[in-house]
């Protein structure tokens, strides 16, 4: 089996059977390609010692523990596929141990920091109303950046107070949207978007760039970064920070963890539980305030 055939078949397996997103597929393929450039062996020629040697070499190249874990996971997936399809009888990665990764708590913006970033937007510029609607949608609905740029007019069910979100693996979920955020999206649609020269094929996308196409992920990162600098926010943030802030603020104000899981589109509630560790000061204050032994 040549690498070209193996990678194509593996890609089709991930896309059609596992139904993972294009970004995830590219990440898996990138991990396997790191192995390819390390030797001249073909997929069916690799043995456990070859894989172990590659991992040791990779780890010695000053890659982070998280990067090492990701590559090992990618290789396990690839060789597991070859075994599943009976291309190989064995899996040379079966005994590989994934390095332990310490829990990295996400950065969270305070409400005053989010307000400062929103206020930093110059609404006298054509893109001002759009950028304000973008920030409020990220924070108000807890969207991933890919979900935001893919949001379409046909996904807006404002009469019912929901938006339809296409998440990882093309899985759909309905997320509540506040009247405030709906008003900002409508303001953008009625004052800016309606005057855009929209390119064919992009008529249904909510957020557009000056060329009439949907915004890229990179552009959303740029918008957020520039606004954080103007607002004087000292934290290192990204569009995903608004998603973390959405979940943390909901939990802090008493929302059920299961409800937050559904709104974020997490398959496992274990993923959502990270937010219970974010605001330790809030949890401590709650114990002091409500535990009966502290009220005696």
Catalytic residues: 144, 168, 240, 243, 266, 275
Crossing angle for the helix pair 239-252 and 217-231, to the nearest 10 degrees: 70
Beta strands 162-166 and 172-176 are antiparallel
Across the beta sheet with 172-176, the strand order is 156-157, 162-166, 172-176
Distance of CA 280 to the CA centre of its chain: 24
CA pair distance 140, 152, nearest whole angstrom: 17
CA pair distance 103, 273, nearest whole angstrom: 11
CA pair distance 213, 201, nearest whole angstrom: 8
Beta strands 172-176 and 156-157 are unpaired
Q: Is residue 165 classed as helix, strand or coil in its secondary structure?
A: strand
């Amino acid at each position: 089996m040549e690498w070209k055939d193996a990678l194509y078949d593996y890609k089709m397996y991930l896309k059609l059977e596992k139904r993972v997103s294009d970004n995830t597929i590219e990440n898996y393929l990138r991990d396997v390609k790191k192995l390819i450039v390390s030797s001249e062996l073909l997929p069916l020629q690799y043995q456990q010692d070859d894989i172990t040697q590659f991992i040791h070499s990779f780890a010695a190249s000053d890659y982070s523990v998280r990067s090492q874990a990701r590559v090992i996971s990618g290789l396990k997936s690839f060789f597991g596929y070859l075994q599943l399809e009976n291309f190989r009888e064995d899996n040379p990665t079966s005994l590989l141990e994934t390095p332990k990764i310490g829990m990295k708590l996400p950065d969270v913006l305070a409400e005053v920091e989010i307000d400062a970033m929103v206020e930093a937007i110059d609404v006298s510029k054509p893109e001002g109303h759009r950028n304000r609607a973008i920030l409020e949608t990220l924070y108000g609905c807890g969207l991933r950046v890919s979900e935001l740029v893919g949001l379409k007019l046909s996904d807006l069910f404002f009469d019912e107070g929901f938006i339809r979100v296409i998440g990882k693996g093309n899985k759909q979920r309905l997320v509540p949207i506040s009247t405030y955020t709906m008003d900002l999206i409508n303001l953008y649609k009625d004052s800016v978007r309606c005057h855009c020269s929209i390119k064919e094929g992009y008529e249904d996308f909510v957020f557009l760039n000056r060329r009439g196409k949907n915004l890229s992920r990179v552009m959303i990162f740029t918008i957020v970064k520039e606004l954080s600098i103007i607002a004087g926010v000292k934290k290192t943030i990204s569009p995903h920070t608004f998603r973390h802030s959405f979940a943390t603020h909901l939990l802090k104000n008493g929302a059920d963890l299961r409800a937050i899981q559904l709104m974020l589109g997490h398959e496992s509630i274990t993923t959502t539980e990270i937010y219970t560790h974010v605001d330790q000061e809030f949890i401590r204050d709650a114990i002091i305030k409500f535990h009966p032994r502290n009220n005696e």
